[in-house]
Structure 1
Amino acid sequence: MSEFKTPGVFIEEIPKFPPSVAQVETAVPSFIGYTEIALDKENKPLKMVPTKISSLMDYETYFGKANKESIKLQDTVDEGLTLVKPNVKFLMYYSMQMYFANGGGPCYVVSVGDYIGDVINKSDLKLGLEASALQEESTIVVFPDATSLTDQEEFYALYQDAIAQADDLKNKFLIMDTFLGESKSEDEDTGFNTVEFLRNRIGRTMHAAAYFPHLKTVLNYRFNEDLAIDHAGLQPANATGGFFAASVADLNALSLLATAELAGATEEEPADTKMLIDIAKSVIAIVEEVNVTADGKISLVDVQSYLQDLQNEDEDRDVADITGYITTLKNAVDLAQDKKGDAHGLKLEALKTTNSVLYNQIKKVIGELKVVLPPSATMAGVYAKVDGTQGVWKSPANLGLNYVIAPTQKISNKEQESLNVDTNGKSINAIRTFTGKGNLVWGARTFDSEDTEWKYISVRRLFDMVEKSVQNAMQRFVFETNDANTWVKAKAMIENYLNQLWMNGALAGSTPKQAYYVIVGKETTTDQDVLEGRMNIEIGMAAVRPAEFIVLNFSHKLLEA
């Protein structure tokens, strides 16, 4: 009690609330990869500095946008003008777009470098992983750029490093991708497809989950419109002349026709001017078609002048000139090439005023090419959305995906059997398209489904949350007296927390006794433990589990007489 020396009225606040457990965040990912810039608002470098952001605007402020790719066009026979898909290596910005579009909230970004050099290094990503360990609040690890590693073995080695960290820290969970977006192609050396390769190289772990296949998104690639366009024509770059052989053959046929007509001409029966006019028109049409795509335009001035004179019945015009013109044009067409398109060497902005038709064609094909991404960042957003709306104990599955057009590979029920249930317990969660439902996450297992206790993602992450929350709350009892008074307080605090989880639906059981238990005191802490400064607490929880397989049994109902 305070000692009062001056007469008057004094107020004292008496604490009545018992100690409580503050629940830790469960879905705060660390995105580790390359960014355009890495500067805070004071222009101090943020490379290898875990930086918390809450929106895509925050990301753009500190880390910029996607790398600007060069525009490469290709003329094709069937589809006309097409855009060559860029070999995009830096996927962080697109991944952040998918994360926030699918319910993501606050997260950490670890920039391991910029786009200069156009190289993804495993060593950089590993340093970023080590830096992310400093942030205890972060519970999920994602590598958006990992699939851009040139060496597939480095991809798996990076995941092994992340798994080792998660096993050590206990409260981290890795979301893994397959190296490739489809499983049809096999590695030449091992004969493994991308799913088999992942299972072969990554050991079973309860602190990770894998998703397959990659996703076709609604996002567009970012292109550099200030660079000269690389526009390839129909002719392969290493090919020689003779590309317009069909046109040369047509011109040769017209030449023979004109020669035959002129050879039979006499003063009494001159060559048929009407036929020569038609031949000249056909020659012009053939060469004009070649000029549409040819790199260099072939002049038609002479043959056009010849045609005009015949149509005007100019008697000074020698009708036999047609054969020489055809020969000249035939030789020019034979040497013509179509290795470059009309936009080659030009800038897109310049085409806007000089060739608006071509400009609009290019803008159209750019808009039609969509970004393909590994699913890990999207799934991180799904985890955050589920945790925020329903709770970490709800499986992040049977949910639609925003900004996703379709998976890169369709998966049937039969194909998913081998993905979901593996003899070694290395389950891979499928993302599938269902008629009338769209694109759904159709799997909820960790990469250790052989361990029945930790088969499901929601169970593993629920225990991670409770373990970390209770660990933090117990810090207040460090150096307190190791006696019944402290034991009662600790037990009450933990039981109150678990009871709230049970009421929220995180724990199974119709009564608190069925849902959880907390044992502390003489049952767990011996006299020797007390002498050595240890207080042992045993906590048991009946975690709710997903209904993964729903079996409906039907039978005929027999009518009674």
Structure 2
Amino acid sequence: MAEYLSPGVYVEEFDSGGQPLEGSSTSTAGFIGLAQRGAIQGLPELITSFADFRRLYGSYLSENEFGEYRFLAYAVEHFFINGGSRCYVMRVAPPNAKSASNVSEGSEGGAVLHITAKNPGAWGNQIRIVLEPDSKAKTQIYDVLEGNTYRVKNSAGFNAGDVVSFIDGESVVYNRVVSAQDNEIKLKNALEGDVVDQNLLPEKILATSEFNIHVFYGDEAETFEKVSLNISAPNYIDKVLARSAIVNVSVQADHLDQESILPPVQVISGGEAVLLSYQITLSGGSDGSAGQLSAADYNGEDLGPGKRSGIQAFIDNEEVSIIAAPGITDPNVQLTLVAHCENVKSRIAVLDIPRDKTKVADVLTHRNIFDSSYAAMYHPWLQVFDPLDKRNIYIPPSGSVVGVFSRSDQTRGVHKAPANEVIRGTVGLDVQYNKGEQDILNPKGVNLIRTFTGQGIRVWGARTCSSNTLWKYVNVRRLFIFLEESIKNGTNWVVFEPNDEQLWARVHRTIDAFLTRVWRDGALMGSSPSEAFYINIGRSTMTQDDIDNGRLICVIGVAPVKPAEFVIFRITQKTNEE
């Protein structure tokens, strides 16, 4: 409580009403799959365009090399073509994929710098590193003191352990700094001859020896200026190159002769005198082989925050509301993906059916593996143009469908069933199913994509893989995800507030205002808010034991809108007698 110690007027602010509750995003997608490059461990990367994807993860993969595992790039491309705006991507790589390096495997060479590509893949073989000698600090010597110590014009930038060069206009002598403070520099060895130069434009210079690193990969280039091999310097190469998005660099201390006094580029080059530049190329990078992939690579490992891989990497992500592993139809992977969605309860999985399963019985065999309201299944595969092979190919529908989800959310709202929507960028279907076949598949929860004359190729189903009829529609499940996440994220302010009638009233007002807005947007049934939802909070939902144990219980009931899946017009013949 505020203290009032002296006479005066005090103005104080306090909250009496409910906090505005903002709806959570429902159109952010997540994708898992093989790519040319990209991290295989850590957090999924945010992608806002296909150009972003190509910059971070590379381009299309070869069918001959990766077969059915190559569809991530196509799925992300068609996600954006179909109206998606942002997604997170997690790369998977075969266990035998290798990172390119400047040190060959099994080599006993004494390379001072160990440079590897940031992540596995043959892409790293195209990386080129150029080193150029440079200096971060130069000064002139004003006086010679005792014990190899020199008074200089300015000792800023000189660190203990730095290699320095003394240039007198005719020759260059290298030395090492022992200490530098208050414009006095102590060197390891004494400088010979007359080293003092007090001229306004000096001819004799004491300079540090550093180097610039230029890293090139395709159109990407990174430059790191004035880096050092001195571990105690703030510009030590390990610290500076940690910012690189292309390479990892480490100094091999065992191969670094601490007694020798040579400029760093000469040390890195193995003793070769370098005047202008020294180039390093990487090799040995490999994409691995598709035959080495297994469900375990997609399922991933949970090694703790920031070290998860595969599907497990999305545990740390709270933005994704739709997730897919394009083209991966292994039931072990799909079941793990569905289990992940059921555990986090904030996203839904979009599943593909194997392309070779075209008969109704075969499709149902695959469908019957699943029973979850957090999964939706789509078929058949889509015919699109492949920019890599310059021909039409068939890709799994999940990437395009997730884009349709996102587009429908943005144009109509999450309550609108993402069906009867045109799939963009598609020229045909792998299989043309008819109404009779859909009569069998639709009630089982298989959402078909069909061609209609004059209406293009459309998503013609909106069912989940659940046997519970309350949750059979995709939009109902996604609406509840939206409501639950919005209420959870928007009511954090309630935690640790006094659990009394005043708080209950504020919570009630907060949720009532939010659900009223949702009802006005057309997401809830009823001609009035009272018909669309109810909110119970207070003594009717909590016992004294709940209150004593710090529990605030609010019961909310909503009436979601259901899609008009079957439109029936009953027509009869009107007679005069009627």
| Bin for the TM-score computed over the shorter chain | 0.5 to 0.7
Structure that is richer in helix per residue: 1
Whole-angstrom distance in 2 between the partners of 1:512 and 1:88: 50
Measured after TM superposition, the shift of residue 15 of structure 1 is: 5.9
**Which of 56, 67, 73 is 1:93 aligned to?**
73
1:412 aligns with 2:434: yes
**Which of 390, 398, 401 is 1:376 aligned to?**
398
Is the CA contact (8 Å cut-off) linking 2:463 and 2:472 kept in structure 1? Answer: yes
Number of equivalences: 375
Q: Deviations over 1:467-519 (max 9, x none)?
A: 11111222211111111011001111011100000011111100000000100
Instruction: Name the CA shift for 1:557/1:180 in 2 (closer, same or farther; >3 Å).
Output: same
Whole-angstrom distance in 2 between the partners of 1:174 and 1:400: 20
Is the CA contact (8 Å cut-off) linking 2:327 and 2:352 kept in structure 1? Answer: no
1:210 aligns with 2:377: yes
Measured after TM superposition, the shift of residue 420 of structure 1 is: 0.5
1:543 aligns with 2:537: no
3-state SS of 1:462 partner: helix
Q: 2:270 corresponds to which residue?
A: none
Q: 1:487 corresponds to which residue?
A: 504
Measured after TM superposition, the shift of residue 89 of structure 1 is: 3.2
Q: Deviations over 1:17-65 (max 9, x none)?
A: 6312221111211100111111xxxxxx464431111111111111111
Q: Deviations over 1:259-292 (max 9, x none)?
A: xxxxxxxxxxxxxxxxxxxxxxxxxxxxxxxxxx
Q: 2:317 corresponds to which residue?
A: 135
- Look at both structures and tell me which one has the larger radius of gyration over its CA atoms: 1
3-state SS of 1:421 partner: helix
Measured after TM superposition, the shift of residue 130 of structure 1 is: 0.6
Is the CA contact (8 Å cut-off) linking 1:182 and 1:214 kept in structure 2? Answer: no
Report which stretch shifted further, 485-494 or 61-70.
61-70
Within 5 Å, give how 1:549-560 maps onto structure 2.
549-560=566-577
Q: 2:253 corresponds to which residue?
A: none
Measured after TM superposition, the shift of residue 372 of structure 1 is: 0.8
Instruction: Name the CA shift for 1:33/1:6 in 2 (closer, same or farther; >3 Å).
Output: farther
Whole-angstrom distance in 2 between the partners of 1:416 and 1:101: 27
Q: 2:448 corresponds to which residue?
A: 430
Measured after TM superposition, the shift of residue 12 of structure 1 is: 7.4
3-state SS of 1:130 partner: helix
3-state SS of 1:513 partner: helix
Whole-angstrom distance in 2 between the partners of 1:473 and 1:221: 44
Q: 2:388 corresponds to which residue?
A: 222
Within 5 Å, give how 1:97-112 maps onto structure 2.
97-112=77-92
Q: 2:333 corresponds to which residue?
A: 158
Q: 1:478 corresponds to which residue?
A: 495
Aligned-partner residue type, residue 18 of structure 1: G
Q: 1:59 corresponds to which residue?
A: 53
Aligned-partner residue type, residue 96 of structure 1: V
Measured after TM superposition, the shift of residue 138 of structure 1 is: 0.9
Is the CA contact (8 Å cut-off) linking 1:524 and 1:536 kept in structure 2? Answer: yes
Is the CA contact (8 Å cut-off) linking 1:49 and 1:111 kept in structure 2? Answer: no
Is the CA contact (8 Å cut-off) linking 2:326 and 2:352 kept in structure 1? Answer: no
Whole-angstrom distance in 2 between the partners of 1:389 and 1:23: 15
Where in structure 1 are there 5+ consecutive unaligned residues? 39-44, 72-85, 148-154, 185-191, 224-366
Q: 2:364 corresponds to which residue?
A: 196
Measured after TM superposition, the shift of residue 415 of structure 1 is: 0.5
Whole-angstrom distance in 1 between the partners of 2:433 and 2:327: 25
Whole-angstrom distance in 1 between the partners of 2:577 and 2:413: 49
Is the CA contact (8 Å cut-off) linking 1:21 and 1:469 kept in structure 2? Answer: yes
3-state SS of 2:498 partner: coil
Is the CA contact (8 Å cut-off) linking 1:66 and 1:94 kept in structure 2? Answer: yes
1:33 aligns with 2:33: yes
Aligned-partner residue type, residue 205 of structure 1: S
Q: 1:170 corresponds to which residue?
A: 345
Is the CA contact (8 Å cut-off) linking 1:176 and 1:210 kept in structure 2? Answer: yes
Structure that is richer in strand per residue: 2
Aligned-partner residue type, residue 144 of structure 1: P
Aligned-partner residue type, residue 179 of structure 1: P
Aligned-partner residue type, residue 86 of structure 2: P
Is the CA contact (8 Å cut-off) linking 1:91 and 1:373 kept in structure 2? Answer: yes
Is the CA contact (8 Å cut-off) linking 1:459 and 1:543 kept in structure 2? Answer: yes
Whole-angstrom distance in 2 between the partners of 1:380 and 1:183: 22
Measured after TM superposition, the shift of residue 417 of structure 1 is: 0.7
3-state SS of 2:490 partner: helix
Measured after TM superposition, the shift of residue 458 of structure 1 is: 0.3
Aligned-partner residue type, residue 364 of structure 2: E
Whole-angstrom distance in 1 between the partners of 2:52 and 2:86: 10
Whole-angstrom distance in 1 between the partners of 2:54 and 2:442: 37
Within 5 Å, give how 1:421-460 maps onto structure 2.
421-422=443-444, 427-448=445-466, 450-460=467-477
Whole-angstrom distance in 2 between the partners of 1:507 and 1:54: 31
Aligned-partner residue type, residue 336 of structure 2: D
Where in structure 2 are there 5+ consecutive unaligned residues? 94-120, 122-286, 301-309
Whole-angstrom distance in 1 between the partners of 2:10 and 2:544: 45
Instruction: Name the CA shift for 1:483/1:13 in 2 (closer, same or farther; >3 Å).
Output: closer
Q: Taking every aligned residue pair, what percent have the same amino acid on both sides?
A: 32
Aligned-partner residue type, residue 66 of structure 1: Y
Instruction: Name the CA shift for 1:110/1:22 in 2 (closer, same or farther; >3 Å).
Output: same
1:124 aligns with 2:118: no
Instruction: Name the CA shift for 1:506/1:54 in 2 (closer, same or farther; >3 Å).
Output: same
